[in-house]
Amino acid sequence: MSMSTPLRDTILDQLQAGQWRPGDRLPTERELASRFNVSRTTVRKALLELKAQGLIEQTVGSGTFVTEHVSARLGRRVQQDSSQHTSPAALMEARLAMEPAIIEMAIRNANQADLQRMDACCDHAERAETLEAFEHWDAELHQAIADAAHNSFVANVFTLMKTVRAQGDWGQLKKKSVTPERRLAYQTEHRAIVEALRDRDAQRARELTLAHLLHVRQNLLGY
Instruction: Tell me the per-residue pLDDT of 105-144, one tens digit each, with 9 for 90 and over.
Output: 999 999 999 999 999 999 999 999 988 889 889 988 998 9
Residue pLDDT, tens place only, 29-50: 999 888 888 899 989 988 988 8
Residue 65 falls inside a structural domain: yes
Residue 58 structural domain = 5-69
Residues 109 and 210 in one domain: yes
| Pairwise CA distance, residues 217 & 219, whole Å | 5
CATH number at residue 167: 1.20.120.530
Is the pLDDT assigned to residue 3 strictly greater than 50?
no
What letter represents residue 216's amino acid?
A: V
Which residues neighbour 121 within 8 Å (Cβ) at sequence distance 6 or greater? 137, 140, 141, 144, 190
Please give the pLDDT value at position 127. 95
- DSSP assigned state of 72: H
> For the chain, what is the domain count?
2
Is the pLDDT assigned to residue 168 strictly greater than 70?
no
Residues 107 and 185 in one domain: yes
Please tell me the least confidently modeled range out of 15-19, 116-120, 122-126, 188-192.
15-19
CATH number at residue 51: 1.10.10.10
Residues 97 and 207 in one domain: yes
| Mean pLDDT on 7-21 | 79
Residues 111 and 211 in one domain: yes
| Pairwise CA distance, residues 86 & 165, whole Å | 10
Residues 54 and 15 in one domain: yes
Residue 166 falls inside a structural domain: yes
Residues 161 and 64 in one domain: no
| Mean pLDDT on 79-94 | 71
Cα-based angle 178, 179, 185 (whole degrees, multiple of 5): 85
Residue pLDDT, tens place only, 57-71: 888 888 899 888 777
Nearest residue to 216 via CA among 177, 188, 180: 177
Element (H, E) at 9: helix 5-16
Residues 165 and 199 in one domain: yes
| Pairwise CA distance, residues 58 & 49, whole Å | 12
pTM of the model: 0.63
Which pairs with CB-CB distance under 8 Å and at least 24 residues apart come from 136-142?
A: 138/186, 138/190, 139/165, 139/166, 141/190, 141/194, 142/99
**Does residue 57 sit in helix, strand or coil?**
strand
Q: What is the average pLDDT score of the chain?
A: 85
Greater pLDDT, 117 or 169: 117
What letter represents residue 91's amino acid?
A: L
Element (H, E) at 6: helix 5-16
